[in-house]
Chain A
């Protein structure tokens, strides 16, 4: 697996890409919080939120289909709510497919599906318009502990290495005829994961040696210096009140 799988559009040139990572992080998180706290029956507000996302995506030249496809992955979780639908008692009822369901339950389902989809789409836009290194620098600028940022950076660095390692181990097992069908066969996966851990541990030993040789003293210096321009301030000052206004006014 290559890193382009997850932030493949982050190297494009656009006004959104040029914004400061801190500004984008604050805007994206505020957007998610506002969306999540919007009552489900304010349909107009959700339409406007979706409109914002389409607009940002167009401005950043991220293909709409890519965002929709990736964000759709959160929808199956809504089955959890759909499962509970017959048990929302009381209140008015709606007939759907011959079943008498509580209208309140249906609103909860619709709300959860819309909110999870919009939240996921916003995060995908954030990751598609920001390099991971600048995102980390942004988080550091927002006073997330430096130790945690370093760990996050190293995890990201070795994630793809270990995913590739896992795929090699899995391919080897399949090549030897591993076709699991029932639970006790999970033990084979366990042995595979065991050897994966030993390999990851030994990689950490080698990496640490290399880091020390290169003068590692405890903290990794930040890669990209951040610049907070007036535009970034203006974007936050305009965007955050705007979505809050939509949340309050669009009914």
Chain B
């Protein structure tokens, strides 16, 4: 995700650099303010930056011989706080850019925006959002950080794709699915690692975690308060978001053919694919993502999205129920 020199246009670089510089300025100001109480933060931020750098050198397997590496922005935000995480990621990116030619010097602003600001501060906000739904205590903390880690990796890579597309370097149609798609998988590794890191730290040094520093040790070991209403609110919220996306955004998705279809049309073999063009695959429920009987194209695509989402949501819900079934219910 580290963009080298020459991939992002001058105007995009200028805008992202301004945004990053402003955020770093605010973060430095926040850190400097907190230094009056904890001067210890200066070596702490430095060793944490060195820690993130070193941790990024560990590759984790994805499967099929490929591997990804840890980003660490949300983990740093969960352990230190959002502004500190932004500074930590900036330090990491500056050192990577200067010494390892990992990320170009003119693209530094863009990289800091993606990984420090969106990944760190944005990821922290997502984590805060999820904490209000999830059970209190350690499980909620770890779970929200894991979910936020996944979201932050996907968001940062999507921002990267968007910047490449706006610079005219790579079409959005290919950059976004390629970046967000691979990082949706890498993000699972990021989430697993974030959860393991926070669990390990919570066991070894619970006093480190800023939000727990005020809580008495006895409270930490208590069973978490699972609020069923909150869980249902989360489920309902997720379902409604997915439905809104499917119904209102799918008609606006590109009607241009996707990669394979495009190549097939160019090379004139799409006609050979299906004798009956209206139903490329005989058993397809919604050929070309539309419901046959509805004439208006937008409404038709939206309806297909609605039904598809309901089916996938139901399948996912059934799967979770099946996995989560308690022995006494059998």
Once the chains are docked, how many angstroms separate the CA of A190 from the CA of B61?
Answer: 12
> CB distance B192 to A183 under 8 Å?
yes
Whether A6 pairs with B100 at a CB distance below 8 angstroms is yes
Contacts of A198 in B (CB 8 A): 200-201, 204-205, 208
Q: Does the CB pair A218–B35 fall under 8 Å?
A: yes
The answer for the CA separation of A184 and B75 in the assembled complex, in Å, is 18
A197 touching B196, Cβ below 8 Å? no
Report whether B200 and A151 are in contact in the complex, using a CB–CB cutoff of 8 Å.
Answer: no
> Contact: B43 with A119, CB < 8 Å?
no
Residues of B within 8 A of A211 (CB): 43
Pick the contact of B4: A7, A77, A156, A191 (CB < 8 A): A77
- Cβ of B175 and Cβ of A166 under 8 Å apart? no
A214–B5 Cα distance when bound, in Å, is 42
B55 / chain A contacts, CB cutoff of 8 Å: 166, 193, 196-197
Determine if B99 and A183 form an interchain contact, defined as CB atoms under 8 angstroms apart: no
- Of the candidate stretches B89-97, B114-122, B125-133, the one touching chain A is B89-97
What 1/0 mask marks residues of chain B from 58 to 99 whose CB sits below 8 Å from any chain A CB? Answer: 101111000000100001000100000001001110110111
Residues of A contacting B42 with CB < 8 Å? 147, 150-151, 154, 208
Q: Is the interface of A mostly helix, strand, loop or mixed?
A: helix
Inter-chain CB contacts under 8 Å: number: 266
Given contacts A100-B266, A115-B4, 12 further A-B contacts (CB under 8 A): A32-B105, A35-B5, A80-B7, A80-B170, A80-B175, A112-B169, A118-B5, A150-B42, A181-B63, A187-B195, A198-B201, A211-B43
Q: How far is the CA of A218 from the CA of B90 in the complex (A)?
A: 21
Does B60 contact A186, Cβ atoms closer than 8 Å?
yes
List chain B residues, Cβ under 8 A from A157: 46
Residues of chain A within 8 A of B32, CB atoms compared = 147
CB distance from A10 to the nearest CB of B (A): 11
Interface on A for B, CB 8 Å cutoff? 6-7, 28-29, 32-33, 35-37, 70-71, 73-74, 77, 80-81, 83-84, 86-88, 100, 108, 111-116, 118-120, 123-124, 126-127, 135, 145, 147-148, 150-159, 161-163, 165-166, 170, 180-198, 200-201, 203-205, 207-208, 211, 216, 218
The reply on B197 being an interface residue by CB < 8 A is yes
Top 3 nearest A-B pairs (CB, nearest first) are A115-B6, A190-B196, A194-B200
Output the nearest chain B residue to A37 by Cβ-Cβ distance: B10
CB contact between A32 and one of B40, B104, B168 (< 8 Å): that residue: B104
Option from B47, B106, B197, B201 in Cβ contact (under 8 Å) with A158 = B47
B171 contacts chain A at the CB level, 8 A cutoff: yes
Which residues of B201-260 are within 8 A (CB) of A? 201, 204-205, 208, 259
A130 — nearest CB in chain B belongs to which residue? Answer: B98
Q: How far is the CA of A173 from the CA of B27 in the complex (A)?
A: 37
A16 to B47: give the CA distance in the assembly, Å: 32
The one of B5, B35, B168, B189 in contact with A186, judged by C-beta atoms closer than 8 angstroms, is B189
* Cross-chain contact B28 with A147 (CB below 8 angstroms): yes
Q: Check: B3 CB closer than 8 A to any chain A CB.
A: yes
Is B274 an interface residue, CB under 8 A from the partner? no
